[in-house]
């Protein structure tokens, strides 16, 4: 039992070192991977990037998953879901979206947390639901955007 303890400590130290080394790359901007579902480059905002919706910023750490994203456009009508992921802390994402959505004139209508988080926003003519799911090494963020007929 005593002989395996140093091996266990070394293995845990290596695992910790690897996780810290990969965690540092979370905060760099990867503009090469920053393309929208439509193939256009996203526009950089004060807090993050704008993708297919020009009034919803996404943190630069999150990477767009084109295979899971769908945007529907007809004239000025635009709706769909954008799916992003990376290893980002749940609370920091919630705070980011609450702050950035307010700056883009969205009103927070409600929210819930645990085991997933969801934020419900509205503005005249649109609604947005942001669902955040956190797992051990990956956080997935889904932005669901749809027009409304009642203006709010």
CATH of the domain at 75: 3.30.310
> Is residue 73, in this structure, part of any structural domain at all?
yes
Q: Taken in order 15, 21, 25, 26, is the CA torsion positive or negative?
A: positive
Residue-number span of the structural domain to which 52 is assigned: 28-147
Question: Could you give the number of structural domains in the chain?
Answer: 1
> Is residue 2, in this structure, part of any structural domain at all?
no
- Summarised one tens digit per residue, pLDDT across range 127-142 is 999 999 998 889 999 9
pTM of the predicted model as reported, rounded to 2 decimal places? 0.69
> Cα separation of 1 and 25, whole Å?
37
Q: What is the mean predicted confidence (pLDDT) over 92-100?
A: 95
State phi, psi for 72 to the nearest 5 degrees: -115, 125
> Is residue 16, in this structure, part of any structural domain at all?
no
- Summarised one tens digit per residue, pLDDT across range 1-50 is 445 555 544 544 444 333 333 343 333 333 334 444 444 555 665 668 99
> Cα separation of 81 and 16, whole Å?
35
């Amino acid at each position: 039992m005593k002989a395996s303890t140093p091996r266990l400590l070394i293995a845990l130290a290596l695992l910790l070192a690897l996780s810290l080394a990969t965690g540092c790359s979370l905060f760099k901007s990867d503009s090469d991977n920053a393309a929208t579902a439509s193939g256009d480059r996203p526009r950089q905002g004060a807090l993050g990037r704008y993708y297919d919706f020009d009034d919803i910023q996404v943190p630069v750490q999150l990477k767009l998953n084109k295979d899971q994203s769908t945007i529907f456009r007809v004239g000025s009508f635009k709706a769909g879901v954008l799916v992003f992921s990376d290893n980002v802390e749940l609370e920091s994402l919630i705070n980011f979206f609450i702050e950035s959505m307010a700056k883009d004139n969205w009103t927070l209508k409600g929210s819930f947390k645990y085991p997933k988080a969801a934020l419900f926003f509205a503005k005249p003519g649109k609604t947005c639901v942001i669902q955040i799911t956190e797992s051990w090494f990956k956080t997935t963020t889904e932005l669901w955007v749809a027009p409304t007929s009642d203006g709010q």
